[in-house]
Each structure stands twice: as structure tokens, then as C-alpha cells.
Structure 1
Amino acid sequence: MHEPGGPRPDDARAVTEAALFEAFGGVRGMVETVVPGLLFVTIFTINKDLHLSAIAALVVSLVLVVVRLAMRDTVKHAFSGVFGVAFGVVFAMFTGNAKDFYLPGMIYTLGLAVAYIVTTLAGVPLIGLILGPVFKENLSWRTRNPGRKKAYAKASWAWGLILLAKCAVLFPLYWWADTTQLGWILIALKIPPFLLAVWLTWVFLAKAPAPIDVFAEMEAEEQAEKARKERETALAAESGEPTGGRHRREA
């Protein structure tokens, strides 16, 4: 059952899928996230050359950005990949330890997990802050759509706990495993936890109330205000007095 005049369940699910695809980059975004690290660990596994591995990873990240720019496509996911790889390259070059190529990304993952949990406990779940503009609802879910706020809280808990579990695997390996073992396990854990978190987000939001389109509301208010002014102008013209004069007389 769905409310009369409201979106049908199938439509709501389609909108949710499209929004998640846009927010998290879809298949192409996942590829751009995986390829630089995969290239780094592959080259390092073959020849143990930190400099060559790091430079190759950084170059392929830049190539992915250039391709995005050439296709006039959004570059936020590719740029985030470049920054992540650049931090890893700088850190590894500075310490001379190839494992440190992965450390900035691991710290970022841990920080993101904590952010998901803390913001949810604070009543402002991070996933809602990320997806609110995508759904054109901004922060309306906080006060006007409690069912949707609850769904965002569940999704943020899912993201936080999944990322914490990933960190619980990777950080011990950073200390105990060698560079190639850590690299291949990190690559293996790159996509599955992400897909699980996105799927759970879709499940929670597909069952939640529809988002409140605050942009449509603002547009409707502007149209109503415009119509009101046009009616006042028309009435003033009929009575032969300026609009401002009519206002003063009514006052």
C-alpha cells in the first residue's frame, strides 16, 4: 500500500538506487578506487621496487582523472582517489616502508567509521548528511521526517560497524604481515564491505518514507508569491491605483 498521490514503492526504490549510484560512484567509482592499489601491490609483488610501484599507482590515478575530464564527467570520486594515493605515496616515500602506502587509507577508514557512529549517537547520522542533498531533502529528515531519520541512523550504524570490522582485520595485518600480504588482503576487502554497506543502506531507505523535496517546496512557494503579486498588480490596475497605495489603504 502507498499513500494516494505519493510515490509508488517501485518508484521509491528506483529513486533510491539512482541516488546511491550517484552518491557512491557506481561501478566506475569502485574501479577507480581499486585500480591504483591493485597496480601498486602487483608491481611490488613482482620486483619489490617501492618507488616504481608508488609512481605507477599515482600515474594511473591521474590518468583516471584525465579520462573523467575528457568525458566531461564528474571527477569527485577520481579526485578522491588521487588524493588518497598521493598521501600514501608521500608517506611511504618518507618512511621508506612500502606498507605505509596503505596506512593513510586505513586511518581514513577508521576515522570514517568513528564519524558514522559518533554522528549517529549525536542524532545527525552522517549518511543522512551525505545523501540528503542527493535526494533533494537536505536536512528536512531531521525534524520533519522521523521515519527517514531512523533509516539514516540504521544505515550509518551499518557503515560504521562494517568499517570498524574492516579495520579490525587490517590494522593487525599492518603490524604482522608483509607488504604483499597486506596489499592483497586490502584489495580483497576493498569492494565486498562497501557493497554490503550500500546494500543495507538501500534496504533501510527503500522501506523508509519518501524524502521531502525541499527544492520543490521552495519553488512552489516562489510561484505562489509570484502569483500573489500578479493578482495584486491586476487588482491595482483595475482600481486605478498603485499596488503600494492599495496596501497603505488596507493597512
Structure 2
Amino acid sequence: MVDNKRRTGMASLAAVGDGGDFSVIEAIGGPRGVVESMLPGVVFVMMFIITSNLNLTIAVSAALAVIQVIVRLLQHQSVMGALSGLVAVGICLIWAWKSHEARNYYMFGFISNSVYFVLLTLSLIVRVPGLGVMIEFIRSLPTEHFQAWFDDWMSDRALKRAYMIVTALWMGVFALRLVVQVPLYITDHVALLGTARLLMGIPFWALAIWVSYLIIATPLHRHKIAEQASERNSDQFAD
């Protein structure tokens, strides 16, 4: 049995139906994860608005990201999430520092959202839902018998349809971010861009995770029950 409360992001969706209650807060990293994810962006935009000093803003934001990792190390807690956040923040800060433009702090986000949007679009075109591939890959790593793994969930019409819907949902999230934020970048409205990024970050992620859960929970649960029944029948036949 999987402890859903220990899983975040897409892994929390992969654990649907394995027992335990689904929690959006836990799925997005818990209260601490939410704070750690949003704090660097909040500090960056607030510091730049108050001081208009890009170098000082970058220095404070970088120091904060490093402190978050150090605190986790001192508390003997997992640092993987903080380290991945540090790398992402570091890329954003270096981009802004090298270009001498605060708005370029958000360029990495535009690129990543664009890449995700294109990949998910292509997956729908070829009728292999990207979100389905991600969730099923997390749920059961196909170290061997890839075709059997692929056919198992792709042949479940209800589950595949649910994965197609949530893939389109996440495409919408990435597209909406770009539609709203890119014009703010072009017109150099850093404060508004930073605010939009924050509002369309964790809150949008949480909403998308919750709606995705509502869509895939039933078909994925039924699929897992069918898998378990098939495994029991195979064991009985082997005996």
C-alpha cells in the first residue's frame, strides 16, 4: 500500500487508488513546500519594486535560496526539493544578472512552459496522452516488457480518455500562463509580471492537480482493481 501523503506532484496522482486520502496540500509539497516554492519569487519582485536595484535583489534572492537548503540540512530533512528549487532559482537569477534586466528572471519559466505545452500537444496529436505516460511511468516503471506495460493502460478506454482530458487540462494551464505573462514581459511590467507569475504558479498547480485527481481517480482505481484481479488469477493458474 502506498502512503499518498508522502507523494507530491504527479507521483500523488500515480498513487490514487492505493489507499489513503488524496490531499492537494500534500500533493504540492505541504505548507512548507508551498512557502519554499513561493518565497524566492515573492522576495525577488518585492525587493526590486522597493529598491529598483537589480544586483541587490539578485543577491538577496540567491542568499535566501541557499539558506533554505542549509536549514533543511541542519534539520536532517530531505533536501531534494530545496536543491531542485535552488537550481531553478539559480538559472533565473543568472539570466537576470547576465542580461541586466529584471524581467529576464522569468525567461526560464517561459521556456519551460512552452516546452511542456509543445510536448503535451504532440502527445495528443499522436493519441498517446503525455500525462498518462508520466503517471503510468511513475506508477510502474517499465524496466522490461515495455510493450505489455504500454498496452496495459492504453487499452483501457476509460483510463486513456481520462488521461487525454487531463493532458488537455495541463496544456491549458501552460498556455494561459504564456498568454497572460508574455505581454507583461514584452512591455517590461516587472511588478505585474512577478505578481502574475506568483498567482499562476502554486495556485494554478494546486487547482490542476485537484481537477486531475477528480478526472482520473475512478478510472485509475478501477484499472488497479482489474490489475490485482488479473494477478490473482495468474497466481492461481501458476499454482
Task: Kindly indicate whether the alpha-carbon contact (under 8 Å) linking 1:65 and 1:78 is maintained by their aligned counterparts in 2.
Answer: yes
Q: 1:66 to 1:123 in 2, by over 3 A?
A: farther
Q: Which runs of 5+ in 2 are unaligned?
A: 1-15, 143-148
Q: 1:123 to 1:29 in 2, by over 3 A?
A: farther
Q: 1:44 aligned to 2:57? A: no
Q: Distance in 2 between matches of 1:216 and 1:13?
A: 11
Task: Kindly indicate whether the alpha-carbon contact (under 8 Å) linking 1:58 and 1:86 is maintained by their aligned counterparts in 2.
Answer: yes
**Which whole-Å deviations, capped at 9, do the CAs of 1:110-164 have from their partners, x for residues lacking one?**
2222222222322332222332244347655533533222211111110111210
Q: Distance in 2 between matches of 1:13 and 1:80?
A: 27
Aligned pairs, how many? Answer: 216
Q: Distance in 1 between matches of 2:138 and 2:182?
A: 33
Task: Kindly indicate whether the alpha-carbon contact (under 8 Å) linking 2:120 and 2:167 is maintained by their aligned counterparts in 1.
Answer: yes
Aligned residue number for residue 53 of structure 1: 57
Q: Distance in 1 between matches of 2:225 and 2:100?
A: 51
**Which whole-Å deviations, capped at 9, do the CAs of 1:177-212 have from their partners, x for residues lacking one?**
432222122222223321221121011112314244
Q: Which runs of 5+ in 1 are unaligned?
A: 1-10, 229-251
Task: Kindly indicate whether the alpha-carbon contact (under 8 Å) linking 2:184 and 2:190 is maintained by their aligned counterparts in 1.
Answer: no
TM-score by length of 2: 0.74
Secondary structure of 1:174's match?
helix
Aligned residue number for residue 242 of structure 1: none
Q: 1:17 aligned to 2:25? A: no
Q: Which of residues 52, 65, 89 in structure 2 aligns to 1:85? A: 89
| Farther off after superposition, 108-117 or 126-135 | 126-135
Q: 1:43 to 1:182 in 2, by over 3 A?
A: same
Task: Kindly indicate whether the alpha-carbon contact (under 8 Å) linking 1:152 and 1:205 is maintained by their aligned counterparts in 2.
Answer: yes
Counterpart amino acid of residue 190 in structure 2: T
Counterpart amino acid of residue 92 in structure 1: A
Task: Kindly indicate whether the alpha-carbon contact (under 8 Å) linking 1:32 and 1:77 is maintained by their aligned counterparts in 2.
Answer: no
**Two-structure CA RMSD over aligned residues (Å):** 3.5
Q: CA deviation at 1:88?
A: 1.0
Q: 1:172 to 1:63 in 2, by over 3 A?
A: same
**Which whole-Å deviations, capped at 9, do the CAs of 1:27-60 have from their partners, x for residues lacking one?**
4333222111111111111111111211222222
Q: 1:158 aligned to 2:169? A: yes
Q: 1:31 to 1:215 in 2, by over 3 A?
A: farther
TM-score by length of 1: 0.71
Q: 1:21 to 1:183 in 2, by over 3 A?
A: closer
Counterpart amino acid of residue 159 in structure 1: W
Aligned residue runs from structure 1 range 1-251, under 5 A = 12=17, 15=20, 17=22, 24-136=28-140, 139=149, 141-210=152-221, 211-212=223-224
Aligned residue number for residue 4 of structure 2: none
Identical pairs, percent: 24
Could you say which structure has the greater relative contact order, defined with CA pairs below 8 angstroms and 6 or more residues apart?
A: 2
Q: 1:23 to 1:195 in 2, by over 3 A?
A: closer
| Farther off after superposition, 47-56 or 22-31 | 22-31
